[in-house]
Amino acid sequence: MPQSVRVLTSTLALLGSLSACAATAVAPTEPKASHAEPPAGAPAEKQAAKPQPKSDDTSAASSEAPDPRADGLRKASRPPAELITGPNLVYVFNFKESEVGQAAKEHCAEQNQDPGALGACLEKARSKVPVELIRFIKEPTGELWWVTYNRYKGNLLKWHRVQFQPGPAGDDRITLNLIGADKGIAPMARVPRHLEIELPNDYSIVVKDPDNGSMFYDAKIGTMED
């Protein structure tokens, strides 16, 4: 082969190698995924959602005022005179919650260590309070009667029966003005002029008794003969 041909062939081969290297050097690389924050002006749907602070319902509830009914005592929902004369409404004496019952418990506990003797002492103290339940009856004629019932030889009898008229009243209390003589089977020798009643809620009343102090009654619904 002539010398000029060999030189030309070598030169072409060298140029081909240089072109291949240049192509490899400038070949574009694959873009890598970017985790950078989008610019401030980016559309909202393309921006990463940021977690929103949760509303603390528990804290909001705890910051509210306490429920006035939490202790079971609240004002009556209706006027006292209307509430206590409800049809078939009976108030059962709660000896344990009344002042006379609490005093008896303290006295009997001091005198008796045996549970049986303590129970007998409390039962004896309870028997000295001649009332099982009371009612405030509104007759069809409009007359109002305060009636107490006591158990005698197994029978529930109308112990006291006195007519009354509603007196001064508030949201949770009323004064009953007693009228005339006691027409029960165990009439009081001297009928008091007034009867003070507190209504802490719709389900109980407290009667101020001159002999036994505050007497607590639980409201029940029951049919009784008038």
The burial class, CB within 10 Å (0-12 / 13-18 / 19+), for 104 is buried
pLDDT score for 20: 47
Distance CA(90)–CA(220), nearest Å, equals 5
Please tell me the predicted confidence (pLDDT) of residue 210.
84
Biggest alpha carbon–alpha carbon distance for the chain = 159
- Mean pLDDT of residues grouped by 10 in the chain (226 residues)? 45 46 44 46 46 46 41 70 91 96 95 91 94 95 96 91 96 95 94 95 92 94 68
What is the torsional sign of CA 148, 150, 154, 157? negative
What is the pLDDT, as a whole number, of residue 206? 97
pLDDT of residue 226: 53
The structural domains of the chain, ordered by start, are 80-94+131-221 (2.40.128)
CA distances from 152 to 127, 130, 131, 155, 219 (A): 11, 9, 10, 5, 22
What pLDDT, on the 0 to 100 scale, is given for residue 84? 95
Take residue 184 and report the two structure tokens written for it.
């029960």
pLDDT at res. 170: 92
pTM for this predicted structure: 0.65
